[in-house]
Amino acid sequence: MQNKCVEISYFKAWRGRQLALDKLLGSPEDSYRIMPSYLYMIEQVNKGSKTDLVTRFNRGCLLVATAQDGDFHQFHIAWTIVDSENDDSWTWFLLKLKEFINDDPNLIIISDKHISIINVVRTVYEHASHVHCSWHLSQNLKRVYGGKGGIDLFMKTAYAYKVSEFDELYGCLKERYPNIASYLEMHSSPDKWSRAYSPGARYNIMKTNGVESINAKLKTEREMPIVALLDAIHN
């Protein structure tokens, strides 16, 4: 018996795939339609969970907050889907986060240097410390100045535990890579990126690896309808 090839257009193949995904996961329209009941059931089944729905937001960007437990495991604290990463979106998200993560001088919030996060954190969390991800800062330095030696020395300086160790390493950084030191002094300060001068106990959390790991894990799921995406996060 001879097999015969069937030729179809790219558009027809794409439409067939889309119809199959809609049957499997639900359409984006249906997903938004059932959001109120879905969030209600989340609170019923997962006691202590808090949900909120603001219909002016269109799906576009996933915001995530994570934390680390005593065994160095990363876990979700909160997540939301907003129209874009801007001041309004971050304000709304952090105000909701503040309902169960209290503003406290011992709390440290670590993020990249996104301007909206910088603008909003200091207004919502007035007492907590906001510090920067050393890896993101190193990537900024790499784009501006390049050179592996300078980046490696910066990271070693950032990870120093003692102030005396930091001062010695930073002195070497200024001497050998003055452009990097000038950039750091212009765009940040040691209390934002170093462990030694951190205003609180930063422990081993120098990077936003928790969030980056979750983003990588959800690379495929982020293209799903909103309810399927939220189910994937729960799973």
pTM strictly above 0.85: no
Task: Tell me the mean pLDDT in the region 27-48.
Answer: 87
Closest by CA position to 57, among listed 28, 32, 77, 39: 32
**pLDDT, tens digit, for every residue of 204-232?**
889 998 888 888 888 888 888 888 888 88
C-alpha 215/C-alpha 221 separation (Å) is 10
Phi/psi of residue 163, nearest 5 degrees: -60, -40
The predicted pLDDT at position 58 comes to: 61
SS3 82: strand
